């Protein structure tokens, strides 16, 4: 399937609070194409925990949550999220619910199921913080282009998984500081996120070496037992 050009620039981390998995329609890659790093959570606490430490993260609270007072959940989201809060509107949700959502502090609505097109349109028109435009970050011969979702080393495009890309974005935006293993583990998955980070770093080093002809430790430095940083 050929997707149109992205309508939102920058890299938006969007947390969707939904109990129904069909509330989101689209692959990770499709959302990535539109500049969105998507996280789906089915309980309030974990969703709020995703945005509390990220001032740019957006949260979408869907109307299909099995709770007696959706406005209370929206109020919690508004109090926790430092960026945009959207209300995910199910086709069968009464129009009065939109007024209640806006009264609770929601900055806009997005129709369910959430697709890349619908989400980016809602982010673009929400009367609150938009998605910031991000310039490519260059550290030595490494270029992390967030808008284009592209990694280049010595001019060579390095293909990465979404989680590997998130790790490189974290390292590039923190440079020259180190990023702890715990912080990077937030971008990983599996039963042992720290182990997942180590595996991702090892794979990236192998790819950098094979595709760009650099030493295995020439791009990502290890601070043993603490974390990683990009080499100057």
- Does residue 158 contact residue 145 with C-beta atoms inside 8 Å? no
Residue 103 — pLDDT band, cuts 50, 70, 90?
A: confident
- pLDDT higher than 90, residue 54: no
Q: Whole-model pTM?
A: 0.54
* The predicted structure's pLDDT at residue 130: 42
Instruction: List CB contacts of 61: < 8 A, sequence separation 6 or more.
Output: 17, 70, 73, 74, 77, 85, 86, 87, 88, 106
CB 151 within 8 A of CB 168: yes
Under the banding of pLDDT at 50, 70 and 90, the label for residue 61 is: very high
Residue 2, pLDDT above cutoff 90: no
Percent of the chain clearing pLDDT 90 (strictly above): 40
Rounded to an integer, the average pLDDT of 212-231 is 90
Average pLDDT for 13-35: 88
CA–CA separation, 179 vs 142, rounded Å? 17
Domains of the chain listed by start with CATH number: 12-125 (3.40.50.2300), 137-230 (1.10.10.10)
For 146-182, how does the pLDDT look when each residue is reduced to its tens digit (9 = 90+)?
A: 777 789 999 999 998 888 888 898 898 888 889 888 8
């Amino acid at each position: 399937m050929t997707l149109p050009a992205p309508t939102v620039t920058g890299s938006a981390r969007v947390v969707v609070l939904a109990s129904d998995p069909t509330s989101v329609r689209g692959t990770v890659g499709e959302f990535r194409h539109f500049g969105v790093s998507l996280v789906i959570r089915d309980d309030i606490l974990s969703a709020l925990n995703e945005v509390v430490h990220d001032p740019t993260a957006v949260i979408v609270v869907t109307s299909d949550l099995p709770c007696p007072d959706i406005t209370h959940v929206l109020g919690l989201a508004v109090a926790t999220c430092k960026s945009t809060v959207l209300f995910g509107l199910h086709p069968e949700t009464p129009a009065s619910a939109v007024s209640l959502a806006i009264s609770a502090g929601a900055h806009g609505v997005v129709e369910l199921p959430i697709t890349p097109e619908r989400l980016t349109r809602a982010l673009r028109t929400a009367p609150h913080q938009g998605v910031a435009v991000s310039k490519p970050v260059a550290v030595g011969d490494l270029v992390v282009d967030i808008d284009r979702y592209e990694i280049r080393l010595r001019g060579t495009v390095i293909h990465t998984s979404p989680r590997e890309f998130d790790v490189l974005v974290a390292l590039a935006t923190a440079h020259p500081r180190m990023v702890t293993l715990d912080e990077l583990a937030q971008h990983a998955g599996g039963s042992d996120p720290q182990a997942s980070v180590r595996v991702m770093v090892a794979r990236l080093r192998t790819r950098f070496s094979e595709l760009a002809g650099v030493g295995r430790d020439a791009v990502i430095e290890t601070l043993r037992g603490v974390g990683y940083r990009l080499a100057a």
